[in-house]
Structure 1
Amino acid sequence: MNTLLRRSLTQTLVILAMGIMAMPVVAGGGSEMSEVPYNEIELNPISMMEAETLVGQQEVYFFDVNTLEIWADGFIPGAVFFNVQNWRELLPKNKDAVMVFYCANRLCTTSNMAARETMKLGYTGVRHMADGIFGWRMSGRVIEKP
Structure 2
Amino acid sequence: MFLKPLAVLSLAAPLALTIALPARSAEVPSISHTDLVKAIKTKKVVVLDVNGSESYKAGRIPGALNYEAVGSNLKAKLPANKKALIVAYCGNEYCGAYKRAAVAAMKLGYTNVKHYSPGIAGWKKSGAKIDKS
Q: Which bin holds the TM-score, normalised by the shorter protein?
A: 0.7 to 0.9
Provide the aligned C-alpha RMSD in A.
2.0
Which structure carries more relative contact order (alpha carbon 8 Å, separation 6+)? Answer: 2
Q: Which runs of 5+ in 1 are unaligned?
A: 1-37
Structure 2 residue matching 1:55: 3-state secondary structure:
helix
Residue 90 of structure 1: aligned partner = 77
Residue 47 of structure 1: aligned partner = 32
Higher helix share: 2
Q: 2-side partners of 1:102 and 1:128: how far apart? A: 6
Structure 2 residue matching 1:83: 3-state secondary structure:
helix
Q: 1-side partners of 2:122 and 2:88: how far apart? A: 14
Question: In the alignment, which of 50, 55, 60 is matched to residue 75 of structure 1?
Answer: 60
TM-score (normalizing by structure 1): 0.66
Residue 13 of structure 2: aligned partner = none
> 2:47 touches 2:88 (CA, 8 Å); kept in 1?
yes
Residue 62 of structure 1: aligned partner = 47
Size of the alignment, in residue pairs? 109
Is 2:91 the partner of 1:104? yes
Is 2:112 the partner of 1:138? no
Q: 2-side partners of 1:47 and 1:58: how far apart? A: 16
Q: 2-side partners of 1:41 and 1:90: how far apart? A: 25
Query: Against the structure 1 CA distance between its residues 104 and 57, is the aligned structure 2 distance closer, same or farther, given a 3 Å change threshold?
Result: same
How many percent of aligned residue pairs carry the same amino acid? Answer: 38
> 2:33 touches 2:116 (CA, 8 Å); kept in 1?
yes
